[in-house]
Amino acid sequence: MDYSRRKFLAGLGATTMFATAGVAGTSVVQTLVIEGKRYAMIHDETLCIGCDACVDACRETNNVPAGVTRLEIIRSEPRGEFPDADYKFFRKSCQHCEDAPCVDVCPTGASFIDKKTGIVDVNADRCIGCMYCIAACPYKVRYIDPVTKAADKCNFCRDTNLAKGQLPACVQSCPQQALVFGDLNDPDSEIVKTLQQKTVYRYKKSLGTKPKMFRVPDLKGEIEL
């Protein structure tokens, strides 16, 4: 385990806070340790058919108002010529970074990483709508909810399906089983097994945010084997 100066200082601050006020719950404290589950997702781009069933399921389950969305499937330009043309699909949604910039910049602690699950979530009551997180997110997945006026984004259905013991709505609705959701800390989980079997990449991994959205690349048309 590496202990950077930054983490040491943050830890020192947290300890002081515990000692003085005994208050937990600020963003800094919550980014420190993830206890228990570490939820992540795989989007298999070789299986995805771009039907948008996940997008609609997400909207219905989480009551996402029209005009904004927590999840988007971005379709590429056609590859090849008719009738052999095909498309590539990219899932645009929260990556649930372990070093989440949106959490770091939030001045009120509204944006936080849930300790029990590792899910990056927003406490709408605390959000003041400053939009720092929207600017900070390298994946451009955040928006201001037109109803609550708070920042919002995918939270792996933490308060809806997950709370009921179900899989996230997008995973449930996918006809291709292109989405795998599970706990990275559980060696027997489907997601860990899939990660061991398939080649995956993470988008903008070089930024060091440690995103937990894995993707099985659709290399068709790029590398001919």
Is residue 175 a contact residue for another protein (CB under 8 A)? yes
Is residue 193 a contact residue for another protein (CB under 8 A)? no
Any residues with CB less than 8 A from the CB of 213 and at least 6 apart, and which? 40, 41, 42, 43, 91, 93, 94, 95, 96, 202, 203
Q: Select 3 or 82, whichever has its Cβ closest to another protein.
A: 82
Beta bridge partners of 151: 144
Q: Are 115 and 34 in contact (CB under 8 A)?
A: yes
Is residue 83 a contact residue for another protein (CB under 8 A)? yes
Q: Select 146 or 175, whichever has its Cβ closest to another protein.
A: 175
Q: Select 53 or 150, whichever has its Cβ closest to another protein.
A: 53
Nearest distance, CB of residue 43 and another protein, angstroms: 16
Is residue 51 a contact residue for another protein (CB under 8 A)? yes
Is residue 72 a contact residue for another protein (CB under 8 A)? no
Is residue 53 a contact residue for another protein (CB under 8 A)? yes
Long-range residue pairs from 109-116, CB within 8 A, at least 24 positions apart, any chain: 109/25, 109/26, 109/27, 110/150, 110/151, 111/27, 111/151, 112/25, 112/27, 112/30, 113/27, 113/30, 113/31, 113/34, 114/30, 114/158, 115/30, 115/33, 115/34, 115/35, 115/36, 116/35, 116/36, 116/37
Q: Select 166 or 176, whichever has its Cβ closest to another protein.
A: 176
> Which of 25, 65, 78, 221 is the binder for another protein (CB under 8 A)?
78
Q: Select 59 or 92, whichever has its Cβ closest to another protein.
A: 59
Binding site for another protein (CB under 8 A): 49, 51-53, 56, 75, 78, 82-87, 173, 175-177
